[in-house]
Structure 1
Amino acid sequence: MSCIVSESEVEEAALEILTELGYGYFYGPDIAPETPDSQRVTYSDVFLIERLRAAIATLNPHIPSPAREEALKKVVRTESQDLIHSNQVFHNMLVNGVDVEYRNNEGEVVYDKVWLFDFKEYCNNEYIAVNQFTVVENRNNRRPDIVLFINGLPLVVMELKRPEDDSEYEDDDLIWTAYNQFQTYKDEIPSLFRYNAFLIISDGQEARAGTITSSRQWFTSWKTIDGENTADFLIPEMEVLLKGMCNKDVILDLVQNFMVFEGDHGPIIKKLARYHQYHAVNKAVQKTIEASRPDGDRRCGVIWHTQGSGKSLSMIFYAGKLVVDMDNPTIVVITDRNDLDGQLFESFARCSSLLRQHPVQANTGAELRDLLSVASGGIVFTTIQKFLPENSEDSFPALTERSNVIVIADEAHRSQYGLEMKMSQKDDEARFSYGFAKHMRDALPNASFIGFTGTPIEFDDRNTPAIFGDYIDIYDIEQAVKDGVTVKIFYENRLSRIDIVAEARDTLDTQFALLTEDREEYESEKLKSRWSRLDAVVGSKSNLKKLAADIIPHFESRVATLEGKGMIVCMNRRTCVDLYNEIIALRPNWHDDDDLKGAVKVIITGSAADEKSMQPHIRSKSKRMKIRDRMQDPDDPLKIVIVCDMWLTGFDAPCLHTMYFIKWLKGHTLMQAIARVNRVFKDKPGGLIVDYVGLLYDLKYAMANYTRSGGRGKPADLKDEAVDLMLEKYEIVRDMFHGFNYRRILTASPKEKLTIVREGADFILSLGRTEQQSKHERKRFIQHVTELSKAFALSKPHAQADLIRDEVGYFQAVRSILVKIDRKTTTSKYEVNSAIKELVSRSVVSEEIIDVFDIVGIKKPDISILSEDFLTEVRDLPQKNLAYEVLKKLLNDEIRIRQRKNLVKSKSFAEMLQRAVNEYKNRGIDTVQVIEELIELAKKIRDSDKHNEELGLNAEEIAFYDALAANDSAVDVLGDETLRLMAIELVGIIRNNATIDWTVRKNIQAKMRVSVKKLLKKYGYPPDMQILATKNILEQAELMCSDIVATA
């Protein structure tokens, strides 16, 4: 199928948009080395050096010229064996200035900074787009499509593809081949990426951006141009991304304030803000500036970004930008728990470069007072409990009267942030107290307050708006799932699986009512008493035995189909330990005394005063951190953690996909806990929460509040919805096999199974009356089996899933064959990194198949697929449709390999192949006949190789011989020997004239064309065919260009 929009047209469209944004434009070859308008000394130069030098001079007129030149040298010499480290070093120079020293007129040493960009006035910088920018490094010649330069520095690299068609890519989008190219470019021309801010991939419609360390899943789209409204669906994503990210003020803002480098415990990861973070933070900063003015109300507002959408990172971006835009205010970060304080503090500490300072923790009220005694600056972490006054005091004394203090409250909705007076009763005495927020206001009377939350403010919550103000920005579940930032959460009720005794059921009935409404403090002791009785029942030995016996097979069934980990949430520490013991009794090999080994661990705190049986599970913070690292590592043998309160908020392990609840939670706490499983991980289709205590009522209440607060999407879907989707996809796939009895495989021997799988693939290939219809049916099958596999993984271990398990495995086996036949390369990296596990056993279709020979059950040839024995074996295959597809793929691959060296001959072979395929497409011949034609083509290719050997030419010379011999009259007139001599001489001409970029430089092309014409005339090549011969020769020369340049 011809492509309506070519890659070059996508490139032109991108350049047109960039021009609209005010970018200057250069065609890469026009500014290449050794051209009249050259702006590079060599092809290894990835910057426009004179433009960079001019920008430095313009932006730093007070710096002496020698010091400016020294700064320039530091920038261009940021080389390191490690690409990401070099990128980080350069980024620090870019954002914080290049340190220089020089002597002033008095002879004194002056320490100063040279700035590469003007971040305050973006129009003072130069923006240029260059297409076809050739870079040569370590004998690698690569030409990225578009590079965006700011002040001569290559900050953005774009790789573009045409919009997808049906021609070659059955199981992947073309846009991801651009992503794969970047991975190659980073290895082959790393110098270009030392200066990179971010990368863009696009096919003109879809467009995504990421950093040089971003995995495929974190190349994300940009959904808005103005920051207020999601762009209309009819506007191509490429246009939205370029206008939204690359306009002059936004791109500099992103570089200065919205990029961080993290990597304390492993490789450095460079992170870039997503669109919802960027615009929310900028709105928040503006609100903060307004609220902090003398006439401001000190209420900056609330940012509600659903859990898993990067709230902590948004807080870091916000703090970092405040430091710049508000002249280094003091920032106080408040949490309501010590573990949350530590987790958030670690996140901030990893990003100290962006914050331009190291955050500190205030462990006591006195430390907090000392840290706030400075005139400005500082990022201080503390808990809200630090604002509790002494017993004799009704209010907390003021710590500072300064107005340049910004208080960031994490999870601002919590009840602790109250302002109202409350009464508590003890020993028949009534005592009055205030919420912590009132004391916080007393301590910081002139501070401004902003709240960040992952869950909505309660509809009737008066405290939060009174303290923080109204919503600044909302990013809800629906949008997060749509953007691929989080995955859906599904709910499974297994309360009926565990027969909780009648006493517990009776208690549950009365407790549900209490759980749905807040209670005053004087009731807390009564609640504790009631819960203690319930704890005793749920945590009984007999009940925990039942729970362990249910959880283990449930989880094993889950991980059999979906790579990942699980978490069990218990009512108290004692239950955590007792359940651990029951699990280990059933799976003793899961236990290990070493924290760095074992498949299950308990995460609790405690002291030496706790009973002996709990001591092995009570760990220091550093030991818990090691287990956290293990839990976050998808390849680590640790698969389950058992928790009580810890890790229900703030803990992030993307590979976590299943949570078991043996604890009652409500409201925000429940919403935050279940969000542990909503993180994106490979192709994880969703997370699952398993309920053993009856959370459905509270979950529905939370959903109602979520919707009432303006949120779209559901916090959790019933697991039955995933089961319904699974059955729907199962029926579609099953019906595609109508007329073929695949269920024979359920009782077949291993050898018979292999045959039935091949027969199934052959049957799917036979669908459709035309080749185009057949291709459509094949794609439809692959798509529905992929969707079925995801729904199946979500549904396990539902009884309906167990019933169709073997059939789903069969469908996956057939899909595996079709994908391997269709794909140009044997295995996509994305499929290798899939979290969805294949159900089919290795005896049917190995996950490690790397070629198509095993697929069709024939022996891989020792010498060549063109051998007579091999072609005979293909002819005799019983599955004719499969044989045709395999032979067509093998010939395509063979021709494609030859195309890299010999354009004319490979083009001839490709045309023969296409003629045979077209005739079969139109059903002019049947499957048996088309196989015979393909076999004949294979023999012609083989015979051509024999002729080449007889001529005694090397591969380059043979290619030019074929270009000359394409004209039959030339062969008749001149003969093989003359054409042979001409081919040898042509190689010399090409080698002597080819330079980097000659294929896109018209003057060099003209010189080459003249030399070729002289040669043709010299040997008396037929005049009527010289134009075509010249064209063929120059095309062949272009094909060889990269090899010639690399060895020059």
Structure 2
Amino acid sequence: MWGIIVSNYLGNEETLVELPAIEYMQNVLHYDFIHGKELIPEKGERETFTEVILGNRLKKALKRLNPWMDEDNLNKSVRYLSRPENLGTSLLEINEKLYDAIVDLKFTVDQDIYGNGQKKPQTVYFIDWENVDNNDFLVTRQFEVKTLSGKSIFPDIVVFVNGIPVVVLECKSPFLERGKNENIGKKEAFEQLRRYMNERDRNTLEGNPRLFYTNFFTGILNKYHAYVGTISSKYNHYLEWKDPYPIKRDQVSGIKENGQNLFLQGLLEKNNLLDIMRNFIVFETDNGVTIKKICRYQQFRAVNKAIKRLKEGKDPLSRGGVVWHTQGSGKSLTMVMLARKIKRTKELSDATIVIVTDRIDLDKQIYATFIRTLSKITTPERADKIATMKRLLSEAQPKIIMTTIQKFESETEEREVIENGKKIKKKFILPYPVLTTKSNVIVLSDEAHRSQYKDTASNMRTALPNATFIGFTGTPIDKRDKSTPRTFGGYIDKYGIKEAVDDGATVKIVYEGRMPQLHIKDSSLDELFNEAFEDRTDEEKEAIKQKYANKKAIVESKDRINDIAIDILKHYRDNILPNGFKAQIVCVSREACVRYYKALMEHMKDIIGEELECKVIFSGNLNDPPHLKEHFTSKAEQEIIIDRFKMPIEKDKLCFIIVKDMLLTGFDAPIEQVMYLDRPLKEHNLLQAIARVNRTCVMDVTRVDKDKVKKANIVKQCGYVVDYYGVSDYLEEALAIFDKEELGEPMQSMNDLYKEMLSYREDVMTLFKGIDKNNLDELIK
């Protein structure tokens, strides 16, 4: 009750959120505004309340953009957008078809435009993408739409371009954010948008999907914050838009009183809106499921900064640079969006785009992403052979070529030479050939800090002497690294670990060192060894140490692995399994992988209570001993294992993947919440490995509780790194090559988290200072 009184006194969602947003869009962004009560059939703007296209406005725009169009084709084009139900069986399917028509210009009509009696297909332009001012931008509020059951809904704000509804915004009072659940307003708005789409339960007919057939994105505003999503976004995928690029934050008017203006300026400024609609929305299909994705603010910013450099730079180095976006924040999609915008930028459209990775599995992964998202515009070519790569680069056609850095290895030839008066054959490295001298070659290289400037990279630069290089990396450039800036240029854009966690793009990583008595420390090993063999000579000690007491032998010890495996199962049972997440175990050797597998399977039933499954993934060869060969898997088998691992536990009981080197980079499995680490890792390798657990994940699960079936929504709150080797004992040293301020805190220790929780507890308890804790009436005042 008190909250309602305060809300009414200080303002509500209309006065605090909706009206200020309309005012900003009118006065700052220069949109036309018409109240929803004026956009009604009686006023001639649309035929009925079930119609959402403003027909007259769309017809005017069609005539302006397609002056050749006759009346029949005019009506046909309007009907294509206003009556699209025959294009698909779902909102998303129809939405994608209309996106293709509006953005990719896939809709044509037959007309004789030359007067020779021959009708030919003519492309229809619904929006002028090149000249922003040649479009009609309208914003309205309380736009009435009849639902499928005949009732009315009133979306708070709808944005139209040329009479087409492209954005729907829902506003909520900021006072709702001060309740027990700080995001209660955001959650209510999300449910309201889903209701309007008729996507909560299609049988209830509570909404009208027509309003969203041409929708590009949706938003949630609450005065201080604003979140963006699409028609397929789950609640946790609605992320806050925090950057008004290309202008600076301090240039946004009224930002202190209305933080939502960042969203309005960044997403709805007319140039930005059309740019995002055209270049920053993708439909990505994975395992038969299509998801509509919109860029995050750092992706929009980075791509446009890169485009600016490419257009304005005077030489290859000033045109290139490095994009550091922390792992898990959508680096592959940023590369896709950059490639797409390059193809659509007039001055760059004839460019040859070369995507270079340093591993075959990463090349395959990025190729799959490009195929899923860009196949409607252009078909990327994967150069899987050296000869194919050389041919494609020599031709330097305006296309996207994907390859690995290893394909730039030098060729050798055998020659006879005389040494010490004898003829012998020796191999000589041949100079790498120049493949093209064209300056419109743009190389986008993934993980720029690793191998992109070694011998093979030197060959790449020889082959492409005038190319521009843009490096993408998930970890910052380290302090010792002089080659990356020299090769690529300076930073184009940065998006660090803390920003990603704060934004909800990734989850926080919490680390814990368990069983410290089994950590591998040089000093303790030497002390134990000297104590056990104090009666031996130095020569004998050295021989024993070489054979039995090296680090690898101790880490692979069956007793040690058995003890850790028991602890892993207990930790997994108590902390990970209850929420339905899975685990990766990282070992020092293939031998250790197999021993972990045996130990886990031996104790699984006793500790977990059921037979969960483990799989080992490592590379092998025919000469391996039988106990290792038993776990060897082909590439195809590994892909099956990975697909199974990504499935919810209720669908697949494969819960543990055991690895040595594989799957530590480029492996994206949101269901993985914990990494059990029993091998030394440092620097870039450590940052890349721990990022396997930082992906966000929301799962809808069905559980049986006391014979009742309940649906639950599980949100991954954090990722865990459980360290048995002792890496966390020397974390600062392991990451010393990075600038501390730039890197931030990649992981938070369990001890620090515990202290933080104690601090919160103290803050809460001070609220009850001087109150009788036994008096319930006093406590709930």
Q: So what's the TM-score if we normalise by structure 1?
A: 0.63
Deviation at 1:73, TM superposition (A): 3.1
Contact 1:5–1:163 (CA under 8 A) maintained in structure 2: no
Match of 1:15?
22
In the other structure, the counterpart of 2:323 is 303
TM-aligned CA deviation for residue 303 of structure 1: 0.6
What pairs with 1:1034-1045 in structure 2 (closer than 5 Å)? Answer: none
Query: Structure 1 residues 499 and 54 mapped into 2: Cα distance closer, same or farther (>3 Å)?
Result: closer
* CA-CA distance at 1:736 after TM superposition: 8.5
Q: How big is each residue's C-alpha offset from its partner over 1:235-283, in whole Å with a ceiling of 9 and x where there is no partner? A: 4222221122101000000000000111221431111111111011100
* In structure 2, distance between residues paired with 1:564 and 1:333: 33
Aligned pair 1:330/2:347, yes or no? no
Supply the AA of the counterpart residue of 1:333: I
CA drift of 1:39 comes to 0.4
Q: Equivalents in 1 of 2:527, 2:102: separation in Å?
A: 63
- Counterpart code for 1:417: Q
Which residue of the partner structure matches residue 62 of structure 2? Answer: 56
Alignment of 1:929-940 (within 5 A): none
Counterpart mapping for 1:427-466 below 5 A: 435-466=455-486
Q: Which amino acid aligns with 2:596?
A: L
Distance 2:606 2:351 in 1: 54
Whole-angstrom CA distance in 2 between matches of 1:532 and 1:230: 59
Match of 2:221 in 1: 202
SS of match in other structure, 1:722 = helix
* 1:367 corresponds to which of 388, 399, 414: 388
Q: Which has the larger radius of gyration?
A: 1
Structure 1 residue ranges without an equivalent (≥5): 420-434, 510-528, 592-596, 742-759, 769-773, 776-1048
In 2, the alpha carbon distance for the partners of 1:247 and 1:178 equals: 23
Give distance in 1, aligned partners of 2:580 and 2:274.
40
- 1:70 aligns to 2:76 (yes or no): yes
Write the distance in 2 (CA, Å) between the matches of 1:82 and 1:679: 28
Question: Is the CA contact 2:678–2:723 (under 8 Å) kept in the aligned structure 1?
Answer: yes
In the alignment, what sits opposite 2:431? 395
Residue 210 of structure 1 deviates from its aligned partner by: 0.8
Aligned to 2:731: 699
**Residue aligning to 1:637:** 653
Pick aligned residue for 1:382 from 386, 403, 409 = 403
Residue of structure 1 equivalent to 2:533: none
One-letter code aligned to 1:685 = Q
Match of 1:319 in 2: 339
Compute the displacement of 1:172 (Å): 4.7
Q: Pick 1 or 2: higher relative contact order, CA cutoff 8 A, min separation 6.
A: 2
**1:702 offset after TM fit, Å?**
5.2
Give the RMSD, CA atoms, in angstroms: 3.1
After TM superposition, the structure 1 = structure 2 runs for residues 713-862 of structure 1, keeping only pairs within 5 Å, are: 713-729=744-760, 765-768=776-779, 774=780
Counterpart residue number, 2:166: 155
Amino acid at match of 1:404: N
- Give yes or no for contact 2:322–2:493 (8 Å, CA) kept in 1: yes
Paired position in structure 2 for 1:548: 565
Q: What does the per-residue CA deviation read over 1:494-530, in whole Å, with 9 as the maximum and x for residues that have no partner? A: 3624276989934999xxxxxxxxxxxxxxxxxxx99
Give the partner amino acid of 1:120: E
**Separation of aligned partners in 2, 1:452 and 1:480:** 16
Matched, 1:176 2:187: yes
* Contact 2:316/2:466 (<8 A) preserved: no
State whether residues 574 and 614 of structure 1, in contact with CA within 8 Å, keep that contact through their aligned partners in structure 2: yes
Q: In structure 1, how many angstroms separate the alpha carbons of the residues matched to 2:445 and 2:127? A: 34
- State the alpha-carbon separation in 2 of the partners of residues 740 and 345 from structure 1: 63
Q: Which of 20, 35, 38 matches 1:27? A: 35
CA 131–729 in structure 1, closer or farther in 2 if over 3 Å, else same: closer
1:175, 1:206 within 8 Å by CA — same for their partners in 2? Answer: no
Measure, in 1, the Cα distance between the counterparts of 2:487 and 2:580: 43
Q: Provide the C-alpha distance between the structure 1 equivalents of 2:344 and 2:744, rounded to a whole number of angstroms.
A: 36
Name 2:712's counterpart in structure 1. none
Q: Is the 2:576–2:673 Cα contact (8 Å) retained in structure 1?
A: no
Retained in 2: the 8 A contact 1:344–1:650?
no
Deviation per CA, 1:64-122, whole angstroms, max 9, x where unpaired? 55444433333333223211111111111111112334344334453431111111111
- Does the Cα contact within 8 Å between 2:317 and 2:487 map onto a contact in 1? no
Aligned to 1:47: 53
SS for the counterpart of 2:445 is strand
1:687 aligned partner, one-letter code: G
Native 8 Å contact 1:660 1:692 kept in 2: yes
Give % identity: 37
Deviation at 1:608, TM superposition (A): 4.8
AA at the equivalent of 2:748: D
Shift of 1:46: 0.9
SS in 2 for 1:192: helix
Q: Is the alpha carbon distance of 1:562 and 1:30 closer, same or farther for their aligned partners in structure 2, counting shifts above 3 Å?
A: same
Shift of 1:168: 7.9
1:364, distance to aligned residue in structure 2 (A): 1.5
Is the contact between residue 133 and residue 147 of structure 1 (CA under 8 Å) also seen in structure 2? yes
1:319 alignment partner, SS class: helix
Q: Partners in 2 of 1:171 and 1:279 — Cα distance?
A: 29
Per the alignment, in what secondary structure is the counterpart of residue 208 of structure 1? strand
3-state secondary structure, aligned to 1:340: helix
- Pairing 1:124-523 to 2, within 5 Å after superposition: 124-139=134-149, 140-164=151-175, 172-187=183-198, 188-227=207-246, 229-230=248-249, 234-291=256-313, 295-297=315-317, 299-325=319-345, 326-353=348-375, 356-391=377-412, 392-414=428-450, 416-418=451-453, 435-494=455-514, 496-498=516-518, 505-506=525-526
Distance in 2, matches of 1:390 and 1:712, equals 39
2:137 and 2:162 in contact (8 A); partners too: yes
| Matched residue, 1:985 | none
2:101 to 70, 85, 93: 93
Whole-angstrom CA distance in 2 between matches of 1:120 and 1:659: 48
Counterpart mapping for 1:503-582 below 5 A? 505-506=525-526, 534-559=551-576, 562-582=579-599
The unaligned stretches of length 5 or more in structure 2 are 199-206, 413-427, 530-545, 699-714
- C-alpha distance in 1, partners of 2:555/2:39? 75
Do the aligned partners of 1:222 and 1:237 also contact (CA within 8 Å) in 2? no
Q: Assess, with a 3 A threshold, how the Cα gap between structure 1 residues 266 and 305 changes in structure 2: closer, same or farther.
A: same
What does 1:649-728 align with in structure 2 at a 5 Å threshold? 649-682=665-698, 683-696=715-728, 699-701=731-733, 703-708=735-740, 711=742, 713-728=744-759
Distance between the aligned counterparts of 2:528 and 2:343, measured in 1?
51
| Letter paired with 1:707 | D
Structure 2 letter corresponding to 1:385? Q
Distance 1:234 1:599 in 2: 53
Indicate if the aligned counterparts of 1:504 and 1:534 stay in contact, CA closer than 8 A: no
CA contact (8 A) 1:155 1:197 kept: yes
* Structure 1 residue 716: Cα displacement: 1.6
Paired residues in the alignment total: 704
How far off is 1:560 after superposition? Answer: 5.6
Once the two structures are overlaid, the 10-residue window that deviates more, 498-507 or 149-158, is: 498-507
SS in 1 for 2:403: strand
Contact persistence 1:395–1:442 (CA under 8 A): no
1:230 Cα deviation (Å)?
Answer: 4.5
- The CA distance in 1 between the partners of 2:50 and 2:443, in whole Å, is 49
SS at match of 2:218: strand
Match for 1:370: what amino acid? R
**How far, CA to CA, are the matches of 2:275 and 2:397 in structure 1?**
24
Could you say which structure has the higher helix fraction? 1
Matched letter for residue 19 of structure 1: Q
CA shift digits 1:830-867 (9 cap, x unpaired): xxxxxxxxxxxxxxxxxxxxxxxxxxxxxxxxxxxxxx
SS at match of 1:418: coil
Cα offset for 1:175?
3.0
Cα displacement (A) at 1:614? 3.3
